[in-house]
């Protein structure tokens, strides 16, 4: 509603320099999903916003809603800056891919608390002093699967996505949106048992306990997620690692 103030927590997904001293922010917020905002004068040396308007910052924000498409940042305080995430190359990469996936997959102004909490949890994991496990391909794919689930695009993993058969699930079809049985495998690619098991365990278990798997199984799982999102959400994600 124009002329009102919105108070919400949000994660900075992307921060773009704009004009002389401003910043344009792509935010993922608790109260209103995706938000675009402008922070005027944010790049002036003594800006009251400090260095907080950078990717991955979790902020408490006050935003003024005018007539334009962008809201205006009027107040900001830090909930978490994830400082250790910023000092690790692999963690930075993983965080950037996660924010990019949220940016592409969750583009509506609808709140989605599971998606918001998932992103916060992943960034907190990447803020670990030893981010190797958090930044692993296993965890990156578990994040993607859970994000797809939160967005309403989880692949069907329990039975054949074409005929409902629960046995002989040997392929995956992005068009069908899940695993397929031997009789429905036209247009699918071969999915190993290990890749199938990885997806089932990763989507059902906590993000902190992504199951270990071989590279080949992980690449099949990544392809399965990517093709599902391409067909059903019309979104193309960057490679997971």
Q: Note whether 184 binds Zn ion by CB under 5 A.
A: yes
Residue closer to Zn ion by CB (options 33, 155) is 155
Contacts for 52 with CB less than 8 Å, ≥ 6 apart: 59, 76, 78, 81
- For residue 73, what are the CA distances in angstroms to 142, 166, 228? 33, 52, 36
Between CA 147 and CA 148, with CA 194 as vertex, the angle to 5 degrees is 10
Q: How far is it, in rounded angstroms, from Cα 157 to Cα 199?
A: 8
Q: Note whether 160 binds Zn ion by CB under 5 A.
A: yes
Q: Note whether 163 binds Zn ion by CB under 5 A.
A: yes
User: Structure tokens of 178?
Assistant: 């899940």
Site string for Zn ion, 120-159 (x = CB under 5 A): ----------------------------------------
Q: How far is the CB of 163 from Zn ion (least distance, A)?
A: 3
The single residue among 144, 162, 196, 232 that binds Zn ion, judged by CB under 5 A, is: 162
Query: Is the Cβ–Cβ distance between 135 and 91 less than 8 Å?
Result: yes
- Only segment of 27-35, 130-138, 160-168, 213-221 that touches Zn ion (CB under 5 A): 160-168
Q: Note whether 196 binds Zn ion by CB under 5 A.
A: no
Q: How far is the CB of 187 from Zn ion (least distance, A)?
A: 12
Site string for Zn ion, 164-183 (x = CB under 5 A): -x---------------x--
Give the count of residues interacting with Zn ion (CB under 5 A). Answer: 6
Phi, psi of 19 (to 5 degrees): 60, -150
Residue closer to Zn ion by CB (options 9, 165) is 165
Q: Note whether 161 binds Zn ion by CB under 5 A.
A: no
Q: How far is the CB of 180 from Zn ion (least distance, A)?
A: 5
Q: How far is the CB of 177 from Zn ion (least distance, A)?
A: 13
Residues near Zn ion, by CB under 5 A: 160, 162-163, 165, 181, 184
């Amino acid at each position: 509603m124009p002329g009102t103030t919105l108070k919400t927590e949000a994660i900075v997904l992307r921060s773009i320099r704009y004009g002389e001293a401003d910043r344009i922010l792509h935010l993922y917020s608790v109260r209103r999903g995706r938000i675009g905002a402008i922070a005027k004068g944010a790049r002036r040396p003594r800006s009251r916003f400090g260095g907080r308007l950078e990717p991955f910052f979790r902020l408490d924000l006050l935003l003024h809603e005018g007539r334009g498409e962008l809201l205006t940042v009027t107040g900001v305080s830090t909930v978490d800056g994830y400082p250790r995430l910023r000092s690790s190359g692999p963690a930075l990469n993983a965080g950037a891919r996660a924010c990019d996936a949220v940016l592409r997959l969750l583009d509506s102004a609808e709140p989605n608390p599971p998606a918001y909490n998932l992103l916060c949890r992943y960034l907190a994991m990447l803020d670990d002093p030893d981010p190797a496990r958090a930044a692993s391909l296993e965890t990156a794919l578990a994040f993607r699967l859970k994000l797809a689930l939160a967005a309403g695009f989880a692949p069907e993993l329990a039975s054949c996505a074409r005929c409902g058969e629960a046995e002989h699930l040997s392929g995956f079809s992005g068009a069908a949106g899940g695993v397929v049985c031997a009789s429905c495998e036209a247009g699918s690619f071969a999915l190993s048992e290990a890749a199938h098991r990885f997806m089932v365990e990763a989507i059902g278990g906590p993000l902190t306990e992504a199951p270990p798997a071989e590279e080949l199984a992980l690449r099949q799982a990544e392809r399965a997620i990517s093709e599902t999102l391409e067909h059903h959400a019309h979104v193309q994600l960057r490679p997971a690692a």
